[in-house]
Amino acid sequence: MHTKSLKELSRLLQAKQISSTELAKLYLDRIAGSDLNAFIDINADLTLQQAAAADQRLAAGDTTPLTGIPIAHKDIFVTRGWRSTAGSKMLANYVSPFDATVVEQFHAAGMVTLGKLNCDEFAMGSSNENSYFGPVKNPWDKAAVPGGSSGGSAATIAARLAPAATATDTGGSIRQPASFCGVTGIKPTYGRVSRFGMIAFASSLDQGGPMAQSAEDCALLLNAMAGFDPRDSTSLEPGKGGDKEDFGRDLDKSLQGLRIGVPREYFGKGLASDVEQAVRAALAEYEKLGATLVDISLPKTELSIPVYYVIAPAEASSNLSRFDGVRYGHRAKEYKDLGDMYRKSRAEGFGDEVKRRILVGAYVLSHGYYDAYYLQAQKIRRLIAQDFSNAFQQCDVIMGPVAPTVAWDLGDKADDPVANYLADIFTLSTSLAGLPGMSIPCGFGQGEKNGKRPVGLQVIGNYFDEARLLNVAHQYQLATDWHLRKPEGVN
């Protein structure tokens, strides 16, 4: 049952061949038997209460395609009844009095929450090693990182601990872990999915999205997630990209005549040969499906790393200033005065990577450096978006690798933050431009220790072109079986 798609599970639930309660118990048992450290918080009683309510809806015929299906939420979305920690000691025992809009929407659709998923602290990281609750293990090779920051989400889908999961992408945090764990994930156009109740890292970049086994599953999830939210000032308004729509409407369209842009900057020095081989094979498969490859250039790609690591820390330093030990969150036990309490609470509550980014952000926003760094980065961000605009005059979608290598071993880059940052070279520019992008499994690489580790193909679309991306991914998944492969030992 745990290997079935959301569409198949929905059909079984609607036909009363299985109950939501039975399905929830099945997944709770699988989670209890897992050693991946993918979950931060589980509340079986509340899960089963939601499943019983879903069964009542199913019996009454008051359903959606997602009613009764379990889902797990990245612990960056506040969720009533479960801890909402953002993977940080600062919020280790925080229980939100309200649900994030995304959680609300899935609850309204009748989905059943299984628990909260591990992630890099405040979504800052590329390996899920920055979590206060310890690293998540990659189901394909437990010596490897699952990617970050949504490593718990990706590992959960790969290990069949849940059929669906929420995730967030600030600079690649849906696409990169999806690639490392061999699952499907999509980052929508910035503003498509509400950020209300999503614990903020970098407000102009953070975007929620779904992870699942297939593009068809992601389309169903995005139908529920996306839409205008008046509580989020960055939410796209109706008529301007914020309308409810069926993201699966084009799944069955032919790819005949599709123009695929292949950026030469994505296939240069630094790209591992095993990753390039898998991506090139996927591109060849698309040619068989009727698509045409077009050579394009995204000349500002290399600048995306310094631009991102100025803008994102600047916004993080502002957003995280609210965690001061006064109203909620971690507070130091011993302090002399208010200033001392602030300093000690933040020093104890934040991990090294979060402190590093707060310091960088405060520096680039400080008097005398704002114009030299932050303002300059914003100007280059505009040029990066213009690169994509120029490219989309020549092609319909852009394809390339998600990351330069397959997943590395746990601990390999723990003492080298810059090496971690460089792993996002192919995903950062899409986030800076606010474009939709996704990762779909396309093969395997060998990695440094000759282990079998997944490779993801990145598909980037123009603004509001999620339906086309999902169509392009779905047609590839009909022709291949990479997305159906399971890690060894996952029954």
34, 74, 127, 317: the catalytic one is 74
d(CA 135, CA 124): 13
296 forms beta bridges with 263
pLDDT category, 450, cuts 50, 70, 90?
Answer: low
- How many CB atoms neighbour CB 16 within 10 A? 10
> Would you say residue 448 has pLDDT above 60?
no
The pLDDT score that the predictor gives to residue 451 is 64
| Residue 57 burial (C-beta neighbours within 10 Å; 0-12, 13-18, 19+) | middle
Domain membership flag for residue 27: yes
Q: Tell me what the mean pLDDT of segment 281-289 comes to.
A: 98
Give me the residue label for tokens 């308004």: 237
Sheet strands (E) in 203-343? 207-212, 259-263, 292-296
Q: Tell me what the mean pLDDT of segment 434-443 comes to.
A: 98
DSSP state for residue 77 in the 8-state scheme: B
Query: Domain span at residue 221?
Result: 6-257+435-484
Domain membership flag for residue 323: no
Give me the residue label for tokens 């990577």: 353
Give me the residue label for tokens 């953002």: 86
Q: Tell me what the mean pLDDT of segment 261-279 comes to.
A: 95
Catalytic residue check, 96: no
DSSP state for residue 351 in the 8-state scheme: -
20, 84, 149, 150: the catalytic one is 149
Q: Tell me what the mean pLDDT of segment 378-393 comes to.
A: 98
Catalytic residue check, 131: no
d(CA 441, CA 456): 4
CATH number at residue 18: 3.90.1300.10
- Which helix (H) or strand (E) segment is 458 a member of? strand 453-460
- How many CB atoms neighbour CB 43 within 10 A? 17
d(CA 38, CA 31): 9
Q: Tell me what the mean pLDDT of segment 150-154 comes to.
A: 98
411-431 in b/e burial notation, b at 16+ Cβ within 10 A? ebbbeebeebbebbbbbbbbb
DSSP SS3 for 349: helix
Q: CA 363 from chain center: how many Å?
A: 28
The answer, yes or no, to whether the previous bond of 297 is cis (omega within 30 of 0) is no
| Residue 300 burial (C-beta neighbours within 10 Å; 0-12, 13-18, 19+) | buried
d(CA 324, CA 445): 44
Q: Tell me what the mean pLDDT of segment 343-372 comes to.
A: 95
**Measured in Å, how far apart are the chain's first and last C-alpha atoms?**
11
d(CA 390, CA 296): 9
Domain membership flag for residue 367: no
Is the pTM above the cut of 0.75? yes
34, 84, 127, 173: the catalytic one is 173
Rg of the chain taking only CA atoms, in angstroms: 21
> Would you say residue 161 has pLDDT above 80?
yes
* Model confidence pLDDT, tens digit, residues 201-231: 999 999 999 999 999 999 999 999 999 999 9
Domain membership flag for residue 48: yes
d(CA 271, CA 71): 34
The pLDDT score that the predictor gives to residue 414 is 83
> Would you say residue 460 has pLDDT above 90?
yes
Helix residue ranges, H only, 81-214: 101-108, 151-158, 175-181
Domain membership flag for residue 220: yes
| Residue 180 burial (C-beta neighbours within 10 Å; 0-12, 13-18, 19+) | buried
> Would you say residue 108 has pLDDT above 70?
yes
Cα→Cα distances 434→26, 297, 437, Å? 38, 18, 9
Q: Tell me what the mean pLDDT of segment 390-402 comes to.
A: 98
- The answer to whether the Cα torsion of 224, 437, 454, 86 is positive or negative is negative
The pLDDT score that the predictor gives to residue 374 is 95
Domain membership flag for residue 369: no
- The contacts of residue 250 (CB under 8 Å, 6+ apart) are 467, 468, 470, 471
The pLDDT score that the predictor gives to residue 449 is 53
Domain membership flag for residue 81: yes
Catalytic residue check, 179: no
Sequence-distant contacts of 417-424: CB under 8 A, at least 24 apart: 417/353, 417/356, 420/125, 420/126, 420/127, 421/126, 421/305, 421/309, 422/270, 422/305, 423/126, 423/176, 424/126, 424/171, 424/172, 424/176, 424/305, 424/308
The pLDDT score that the predictor gives to residue 489 is 85
Averaged pLDDT score across all residues of the chain: 96
Domain membership flag for residue 218: yes
d(CA 483, CA 456): 10
> Would you say residue 5 has pLDDT above 90?
yes
Q: Tell me what the mean pLDDT of segment 37-64 comes to.
A: 97
Q: Tell me what the mean pLDDT of segment 396-407 comes to.
A: 97
pLDDT category, 342, cuts 50, 70, 90?
Answer: very high
d(CA 74, CA 156): 10
* Model confidence pLDDT, tens digit, residues 116-148: 999 999 999 999 999 999 999 999 999 999 999
Domain total of the chain = 1
> Would you say residue 361 has pLDDT above 90?
yes
The pLDDT score that the predictor gives to residue 188 is 98
- Which helix (H) or strand (E) segment is 70 a member of? strand 70-74
Q: Tell me what the mean pLDDT of segment 34-60 comes to.
A: 98
Q: Tell me what the mean pLDDT of segment 429-444 comes to.
A: 98
d(CA 266, CA 152): 27
- The answer to whether the Cα torsion of 226, 443, 213, 82 is positive or negative is negative
